[in-house]
Amino acid sequence: MISIRRARPGDAAAIAAVHVAAWRSAYAGILGERYLAELSEPRLAHFYHRAILDRREGHAVFVATAPAEEAPAQVVGFASGGRARRRGLAEGEVETLYVLDDFRERGCGRRLMRAMAAHLRAIGCNSAMAWVLADNPSRFFYRHLGGRPAMQEGIRVAGQSVDQLALLWDPIDTLLAATAPVPEGRLREGG
């Protein structure tokens, strides 16, 4: 069974491993091969260790964990965010959301989005947004959860020009409603 909880500093290395695996899978063909090959788990672990401890601007990291045989539960996905980094679009922002390929389509993404939405509302955010690369098929996931395209702009990632799209939930209750727990009778097998 998948569980969602607030990340602890000891999760940083596992979160970094999910980041690298998810980026290599999600951004193949969108970002350069070399850049993806050179992603460094130790460097990212350091980054996430700091991110977990740094609670400024209501920043929070959540993990999805799955039971592992004769080992502590394995981190299979994570999300992070806080008050929006850029003013004007929304009050809160989901900055990252990644689930390992083998654990997709089991409700992890929705439950992580719900944890983020509940957290953002608890810190006083009345609206939320997320940036997604415009070519990333995951934009349809955000659309599926009611995210409304609000803005598109060009940015540079890894020396490359790409477009990013802002998805907006205003009010934030629209995201809470879209991520409400499914009644037990409707739970999918393995979910």
Ligand X SMILES: CC(C)(COP(=O)(O)OP(=O)(O)OC[C@H]1O[C@@H](n2cnc3c(N)ncnc32)[C@H](O)[C@@H]1OP(=O)(O)O)[C@@H](O)C(=O)NCCC(=O)NCCS
DSSP state of 107: S
CA–CA distances in Å: residue 4 to residues 71, 101, 108, 124, 155: 18, 17, 8, 21, 32
Three-state secondary-structure class, residue 25: helix
CB contact at 8 A, 17 and 74: no
Amino acid at 174: T
| Residue 97 C-beta: closest distance to ligand X, Å | 5
Tallying the residues shown for the chain, one arrives at 191
Residue 49 vs 103, nearer CB to ligand X: 103
Closer by beta carbon to ligand X, 96 or else 127: 96
83: closest CA among 49, 44, 45, 54?
Answer: 54
Q: Smallest distance from the beta carbon of 24 to ligand X, in angstroms? A: 10
Closest distance of CB 107 from ligand X, Å: 4
- To ligand X, the closest distance from the beta carbon of 76 in angstroms equals 9
Q: Which is nearer to ligand X, 105 or 153 (CB)?
A: 105
Strand positions, DSSP E, the chain = 3-6, 60-68, 71-83, 92-99, 128-133, 148-157, 160-169
Nearest residue (CB) to ligand X, 28 versus 124: 28
Which residue lies nearer to ligand X by CB, 124 or 191? 191
Q: Residue 94 Cβ, how far from ligand X at the closest point, in Å?
A: 8
Cβ 27 to ligand X shortest distance, Å: 8
Looking at the Cβ atoms of 6 and 140, the one nearer to ligand X is 140
How many CA within 13 A on the CB side of residue 84? 21
Nearest residue to the partner ligand X, using Cβ: 109
- Binding residues for ligand X (CB under 6 A): 22, 26, 97-99, 104-110, 132, 136-138, 140-141, 144
